[in-house]
């Protein structure tokens, strides 16, 4: 009692004495908790080391692996290297696409069962009015062909999932007849087709082309040929050498100048040559201006310089120039008869593997949309499909 009175007399709060005694006890408790925490950490560390030694690291890592797995992974099998691209509408630029498409294995033998295919490449403005005829032609021959369509970027097709043309559009740009953009489109088609390592032969078509034989006949004709079908004529007239520009020398001399149909068939080696070229491209882009019609001269001249021994110097696509003018004749509904279709290859004679053949044309153009109905009626008996 006396002590309390003394404290009050001195102005001290007795509760402060109590807090002082508690504050001295607090650090000891915190120290004790810290020691216990460190002890637990040591025990956990020893336990982890023991577990790793007993069961290995892979099991622990597998436990911590996230449930989400990335869609893109490094190729771990041959199948991932050789499977064809699923989405043709990729985001590669032409430069990137051409670089990727020209990868060439140094070993010629394939370490897998490769069935060579024909790449059917359609260079069109928009719709494919003769698509039902082509659907019938392709039916039953899956695995022996691929389809690629280059249309104007503004065009949107409406093919059903059951169609062979469904999702076969490639990334495209505007192409104009007689201009270098037309050759750019052809190279774009070739480059996309080259991404499928099973494509061995490449044929260019327009929307007005039709097959003149069934698929089996055409496949065997292309497969057995030792040459690719591209015209490489030396035309001395005004529409041949008359279009030559002296500025193209020395890469292209006037004696090298060639002319041929735009609608070609080539093998894989020549397709790579066409896609990888820069030397001749720059010359033709700069000096083959209208009325030079670069699509008639660029590829025939380049390939006749690089690989003349691989070219048949003729096309397998028939056209009728008898009416004159800058474009061949177009055939509509009234023109399509059994007699008309039979005469296309009648009386023909051409070289095939250095021998004479009566089968010279596998395809024909130009056919208007109105020709579809009679073509579908006559195809089973006259064309064989």
For 97-118, how does the pLDDT look when each residue is reduced to its tens digit (9 = 90+)? 999 999 998 898 999 899 999 9
> Tokens in use for 202?
């490449």
Q: What is the mean pLDDT of residues 184-197?
A: 97
Alpha carbon distances (Å) from 86 to 83, 170, 193: 9, 11, 12
Question: 356 near 320, Cβ under 8 Å?
Answer: no
> Tokens in use for 132?
């039902």
The conformation of residue 144, written as its DSSP 8-state character, comes to S
Residue 35 has pLDDT above 90, yes or no: no
Distance CA 316, CA 361 (A): 4
Higher pLDDT, 58 or 30: 30
Residue 85 has pLDDT above 90, yes or no: no
Q: What is the mean pLDDT of residues 203-226?
A: 98
Closest CA to 188 of 205, 171, 213, 168: 171
Distance CA 219, CA 201 (A): 10
- pLDDT confidence band for 193 (50 / 70 / 90): very high
Number of helices (H) and strands (E) in the chain: give both, helices first. 13, 9
> Tokens in use for 357?
């053949």
**Tokens 């009325």, residue located:** 291
Q: Is this model's pTM higher than 0.85 or not? A: no
Residue 63 has pLDDT above 90, yes or no: no
Question: 267 near 310, Cβ under 8 Å?
Answer: yes
Q: What is the mean pLDDT of residues 137-142?
A: 97
Question: 295 near 186, Cβ under 8 Å?
Answer: yes
Determine the pLDDT at residue 89.
86
Determine the pLDDT at residue 290.
83
Distance CA 13, CA 18 (A): 9
Residue 25 has pLDDT above 60, yes or no: no
φ, ψ of residue 5 to 5 degrees: the values are: -65, -40
Between strands 117-123 and 199-205, the pairing is: parallel
φ, ψ of residue 205 to 5 degrees: the values are: -130, 160
Distance CA 212, CA 87 (A): 31
Determine the pLDDT at residue 374.
98
* pLDDT, tens digit, 9 for 90 and up, residues 289-329: 888 999 999 999 999 999 999 999 999 999 999 887 778 99
The conformation of residue 88, written as its DSSP 8-state character, comes to S
Distance CA 7, CA 13 (A): 7
- pLDDT confidence band for 15 (50 / 70 / 90): very low
> Tokens in use for 340?
């008309």
- pLDDT confidence band for 27 (50 / 70 / 90): low
Q: What is the SS3 assignment for 90?
A: coil
| Average predicted confidence (pLDDT) for the chain | 87
Q: What is the mean pLDDT of residues 40-63?
A: 56
> Tokens in use for 230?
């591209």
Peptide bond into 366 cis (omega under 30): yes
Higher pLDDT, 1 or 133: 133
**Bridge partner residues of 345 (DSSP):** none
Residue 363 has pLDDT above 90, yes or no: yes
Question: 84 near 146, Cβ under 8 Å?
Answer: yes
Q: What is the mean pLDDT of residues 229-235?
A: 97
Determine the pLDDT at residue 20.
47
Determine the pLDDT at residue 58.
42
- pLDDT confidence band for 38 (50 / 70 / 90): confident
Determine the pLDDT at residue 54.
56
Residue 221 has pLDDT above 90, yes or no: yes
């Amino acid at each position: 009692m006396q002590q309390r009175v003394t404290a009050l007399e001195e102005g001290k709060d007795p509760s402060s004495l109590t807090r002082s005694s508690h504050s001295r006890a607090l650090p000891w408790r915190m120290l004790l908790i810290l020691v216990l925490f460190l002890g637990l950490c040591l025990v956990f560390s020893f336990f982890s080391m023991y577990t790793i030694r007993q069961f290995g690291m892979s099991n622990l890592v597998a436990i911590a692996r996230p449930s989400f797995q990335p869609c893109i992974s490094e190729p771990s099998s041959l199948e991932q290297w050789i499977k064809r691209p699923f989405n043709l509408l990729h985001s590669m630029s032409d430069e990137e696409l051409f670089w990727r498409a020209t990868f060439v294995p140094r070993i010629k033998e394939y370490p897998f069962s490769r069935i060579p295919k024909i790449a059917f490449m359609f260079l069109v403005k928009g719709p494919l009015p003769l698509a039902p005829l082509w659907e019938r032609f392709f039916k039953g021959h899956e695995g022996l062909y691929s389809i690629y369509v280059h249309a104007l970027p503004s065009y949107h097709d409406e093919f059903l999932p059951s169609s062979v043309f469904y999702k076969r559009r490639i990334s495209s740009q505007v192409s104009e007849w007689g201009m270098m953009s037309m050759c750019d489109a052809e190279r774009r088609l070739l480059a996309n087709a080259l991404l499928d390592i099973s494509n061995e032969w490449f044929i260019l078509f327009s929307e007005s082309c039709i097959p003149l034989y069934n698929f089996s006949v055409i496949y065997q004709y292309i497969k057995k040929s030792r040459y690719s079908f591209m015209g490489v004529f030396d035309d001395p007239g005004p529409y041949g050498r008359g279009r030559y520009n002296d500025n193209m020398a020395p890469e292209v001399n006037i004696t090298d100048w060639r002319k041929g149909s735009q609608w070609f068939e080539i093998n894989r080696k020549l397709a790579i040559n066409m896609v990888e070229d820069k030397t001749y491209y720059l010359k033709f882009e700069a000096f083959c201006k209208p009325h030079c019609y670069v699509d008639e001269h660029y590829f025939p001249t380049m390939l006749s310089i690089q690989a003349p021994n691989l070219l048949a110097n003729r096309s397998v696509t028939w056209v009728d120039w008898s009416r004159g003018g800058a474009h061949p004749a177009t055939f509509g509904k009234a023109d399509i008869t059994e007699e008309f279709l039979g005469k296309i290859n009648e009386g023909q004679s051409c070289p095939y593997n250095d021998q004479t053949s009566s089968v010279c044309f596998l395809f024909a153009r130009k056919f208007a949309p109105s020709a579809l109905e009679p073509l579908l009626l006559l195809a089973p008996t006259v064309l064989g499909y």
